[in-house]
Every structure is written in C-alpha cells, then in structure tokens.
C-alpha cells in the first residue's frame, strides 16, 4: 500500500521536527556544559544526614552528577572552588527535588546555609533564576560547599557554577527550547483531540490525552509554574508525580487499543497485559494520593519496566489476525520497538542505572516519543481509511452493477415477444 502525497508530507514534517529538535537539543546540552566555571566536586549516598565530623568516612566518588534512582537515601555533594570576586551561582538540577540544603564554607568556617525545593516554603526573591534548576548565590569569600539533597521522585542531580551572565544566557536558551517543545506537544494534543471528535476515532482521543499528560509533566518538571505563582511550589511537585503515573496509565491505554485490534487470538493476551497495566496504574495512583507518594512512584516504575520488557520481547515475533491487520502490524512494528527502547531507557534511568547524563534529554525524549506515537497512529488511520474507501468503492460498483442488471431485466420484460 502506497502512502498518498498529503500523508507523506505529514510524515516528512514529523521527521523534520525530530531532526531539528535533535540538533537543537545537542547544541543546547553542549552549550550548557561549556558555560560553567571550573571546580572540583564529589558525591556520596547516605541513609541519614551526616555531620562534618563523619564526612571523611563516606565513600566519595568524583563527579558533578549522580543518579540513585527511586530511593529513600540522601545524596551529598562536596564542591571546592576558588573564592569568587564577582557574583556566582551554584546551580543544582533538576528543579523537582524535594529539599536541597547548601552550606557554604570559607575554609572550615560555615558562612551561610540556604534551602530550596518543592517541599520548602517559596521565597520569590531567591527564585529569580529557577527554571529547570535551583540556583544558590555563592557568598563572598566562600571556597567550598556541602549539598544535602532528597527527593520523592527519582533521586538524581547535577551541579554547576555559573556567573550571572552565563546563568541568564542559559536560562534564556533553556526557556526558548522548552517552550518550543511544549508548544509543539500542546498543539499536537489539541489537534488530535479535535480530530478524534471530527473523525470519530478513539485512538486519536487516547493519543491526544496522552500528549496532554506529557505536556503537564514537562511543565511541572520545568518549575515554570512556581516562578509565576510562588504559592503552588508544593502542589507543583505533587502534580509531577501524579502526571508521571498518569502517563503510564494513558500509555498503557494506547498500547491496549492498538494491540487488542491487531493480534491473533494466541497473542491477544498481550493486549490484555496492558489492560491489566491500566488497572495497576489506577492502584498506583491510589497509593500515591492516599498512602505514600514514594511507594506509588516506585510501583509505577516497576509496572512500566515489566510491561515494556514483555512487549519488547514479544512484539517482534507476534502475528496479526488478518491481512489488513498484518499490513498495519508490519508498518508499525519497528517504530513501536524503537518507542519501547526509548521508554526502557528512561525507565532504567529512574531505577538508578547510569549517572543521570540523560536528564537534560527529557524534553527531547517526550518529543521523540510523541512523533513515534503520531507515526503509528497516522499509519493505522491511513490503512483503515484506505480499506473503508476501497469497501465504499466496491459497494458503489456492486450497486451500479445491480442497478444496471435490474434495468436490463426491466427492459427485457417490457419488450414485445418476437415469434
């Protein structure tokens, strides 16, 4: 089956958006890494807060970023730097961390302590640079800092030192980059929802709702809302966890709707697996809202990892239940596998595998996933529309043939008999 010119244009537009986003994100991440002041740092994981007398007993590891995954542990950073003659900032990412307590020292003397996070009271005067990260002004004379970090979500963090000019520049680029991706995802979601009403296609509605959930995740992850409405800082953190679990639920609904209509009977348990995943996600939401947030998020990561691992293993060897569904499956199978690999990559990161280097790529991950899901949705829709058009054409031809035959019979019955 060939794809029409208009559909090719849509797919080419999606490919162009993806290519542009990948190039922009690579440049953005590279510029952020370059626009930092040199310093030395090390990190360690601890089960409970420590004092300065026991710091030398910890298993410190060199690095400016760390990933511990879903854990109740605390993450410590030690940073040593030269005394700064001009205003400098210690920048900690991501912004969703529950609590980040920074103690600045001049040699061994404590100068000041500052605390931020989405479980802390919001001070608008100290959050002017906080979009996507938390910035702490380094006091004059400080030569080192000790950071104590905790999180209900995935415990990961990176630190950097920037001056005001670098911080303003990276903030501008970051805001433009994130706003562009949020705009694309938001418009795609609204377009899909409108198409679901106009074309009466449930899959478009599920896709649109899933993208709205991702839009909400990225918005909460950025920390932009507390910058505008300071009183909602705690709510912003709670909503991030809520939408994270909801994204697993809406993604499971998408997979269930696709697979349930394609697979042969012997493979339809795979669709049922995601139906079960929807129920488990609803349970995870209940745990998150009414029992324990960290436990609900941990359950969600395990749910996602198990479902994706099974789908990744089984999907390449599955077969469809008829010729049409085979056509659909063959066209979406490998984009589907790529989508699952992306989801698995993100899930493994949340389990603490890696050093958190993929953290700046969350927005590009969301955009890439959106494009793959849109591709799968469009291809399925194209195939189904072609079949409907073909059936309509056949019915018209049959109706025309029946009408012609009826007219011929009528003419024959009305004509006089010849002896």
Give a yes or no: residue 359 inside a domain: yes
Please tell me the predicted confidence (pLDDT) of residue 84.
65
Say whether both 370 and 227 belong to one domain. yes
Say whether both 11 and 44 belong to one domain. no
Q: Which mean pLDDT values do the consecutive 10-residue runs of the chain (419 residues) have? A: 50 58 53 64 85 67 89 92 79 91 91 88 70 90 93 90 88 87 93 91 92 95 80 85 95 85 68 86 96 93 89 79 74 80 78 63 84 83 68 68 69 58
| Domain CATH number, residue 173 | 1.20.1070
For 163, other C-beta atoms within 10 Å of its C-beta total 17
**Per-residue pLDDT tens digits for 357-378:** 566 678 888 888 888 888 888 8
Q: For residue 154, give the nearest of 212, 217, 81 by alpha carbon.
A: 217
Q: Are 133 and 127 in contact (CB under 8 A)?
A: no
Phi first, then psi, for residue 95 (nearest 5°) are -85, -15
The residue whose two tokens read 């029409």 is 4
Both tokens of 287, joined, read 């745990």
Q: Are 71 and 123 in contact (CB under 8 A)?
A: no
Give a yes or no: residue 148 inside a domain: yes
Give a yes or no: residue 257 inside a domain: yes
| Domain CATH number, residue 74 | 2.60.40.2380
Please tell me the predicted confidence (pLDDT) of residue 299.
94
Please tell me the predicted confidence (pLDDT) of residue 190.
95
Pairwise CA distance, residues 273 & 285, whole Å: 18
Please tell me the predicted confidence (pLDDT) of residue 279.
94
CA–CA distance from 43 to each of 59, 82, 144, 310, 311 (Å)? 8, 19, 14, 35, 36
Say whether both 353 and 270 belong to one domain. yes
Say whether both 161 and 95 belong to one domain. yes
Please tell me the predicted confidence (pLDDT) of residue 16.
59
Say whether both 275 and 366 belong to one domain. yes
At which of 167, 196, 224 does a domain end? 167
Say whether both 354 and 262 belong to one domain. yes
Say whether both 216 and 105 belong to one domain. no
Say whether both 154 and 254 belong to one domain. no
Residue 43 CA to chain centroid, in angstroms? 27
Say whether both 325 and 382 belong to one domain. yes
Say whether both 196 and 144 belong to one domain. no
- Nearest-5° Cα angle at 366, 306 to 27: 125
At which of 136, 167, 198 does a domain end? 167
Q: Are 78 and 144 in contact (CB under 8 A)?
A: yes
Say whether both 196 and 337 belong to one domain. yes
Looking at the structure of the chain, the number of domains it has is 2
Please tell me the predicted confidence (pLDDT) of residue 217.
94
Give a yes or no: residue 56 inside a domain: no
Say whether both 155 and 176 belong to one domain. no
Give a yes or no: residue 83 inside a domain: yes
At which of 111, 134, 167 does a domain end? 167
Pairwise CA distance, residues 276 & 282, whole Å: 10
> Among the residues of 200-322, which ranges form H helices?
202-222, 224-228, 233-262, 269-290, 293-314
Give a yes or no: residue 357 inside a domain: yes
Please tell me the predicted confidence (pLDDT) of residue 172.
87
Give a yes or no: residue 310 inside a domain: yes
Structural domain span for residue 133: 38-50+63-167
Give a yes or no: residue 401 inside a domain: no
């Amino acid at each position: 089956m060939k794809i029409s010119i208009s559909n090719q244009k849509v797919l080419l537009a999606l490919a162009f958006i993806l290519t542009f986003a990948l190039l922009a994100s690579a440049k953005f991440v590279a510029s952020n890494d370059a626009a930092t002041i040199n310093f030395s740092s090390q990190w360690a994981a601890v089960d409970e807060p420590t004092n300065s007398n026991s710091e030398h007993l910890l298993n410190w590891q060199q690095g400016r970023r760390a990933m511990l995954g879903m854990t109740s542990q605390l993450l410590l950073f030690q940073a040593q730097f030269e005394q700064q003659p001009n205003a400098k900032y210690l920048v900690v990412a991501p912004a969703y961390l529950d609590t980040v307590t920074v103690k600045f020292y001049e040699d061994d003397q404590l100068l000041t302590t500052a605390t931020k996070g989405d479980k802390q009271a919001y001070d608008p005067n100290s959050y002017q640079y906080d979009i996507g990260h938390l910035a702490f002004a380094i006091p004059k004379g400080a030569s080192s800092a000790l950071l104590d970090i905790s999180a209900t979500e995935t415990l990961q963090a990176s630190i950097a030192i920037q001056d005001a000019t670098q911080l303003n520049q990276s903030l501008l680029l970051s805001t433009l980059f994130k706003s562009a991706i949020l705009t694309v995802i938001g418009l795609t979601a609204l377009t899909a929802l409108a198409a679901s009403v106009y074309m009466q296609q449930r899959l478009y509605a599920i896709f649109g709702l899933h993208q709205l959930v991702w839009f909400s995740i990225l918005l909460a992850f950025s920390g932009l809302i507390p910058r505008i409405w300071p009183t909602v800082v705690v709510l912003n953190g709670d909503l991030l966890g809520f939408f994270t679990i909801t994204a697993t639920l809406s993604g499971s609904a998408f997979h269930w709707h696709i697979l349930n209509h394609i697979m042969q009977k012997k493979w339809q348990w795979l669709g049922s697996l995601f139906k079960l995943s929807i129920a488990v996600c609803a349970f995870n939401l209940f745990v998150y809202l009414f029992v324990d947030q960290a436990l609900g998020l941990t359950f969600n990561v395990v749910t996602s990892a198990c479902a994706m691992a099974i789908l990744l293993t089984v999907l390449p060897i599955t077969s469809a239940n008829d010729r049409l569904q085979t056509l659909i499956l063959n066209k979406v199978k490998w984009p589907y596998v790529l989508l699952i690999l992306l989801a698995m990559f993100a899930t493994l990161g949340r389990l603490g595998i890696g050093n958190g280097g993929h953290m700046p790529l969350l927005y590009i991950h969301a955009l890439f996933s959106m494009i793959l899901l849109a591709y799968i949705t469009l291809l399925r829709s194209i195939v189904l529309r072609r079949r409907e058009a073909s059936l309509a054409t056949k019915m018209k031809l049959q109706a025309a043939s029946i009408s012609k035959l009826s007219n011929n019979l009528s003419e024959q019955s009305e004509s006089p008999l010849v002896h």
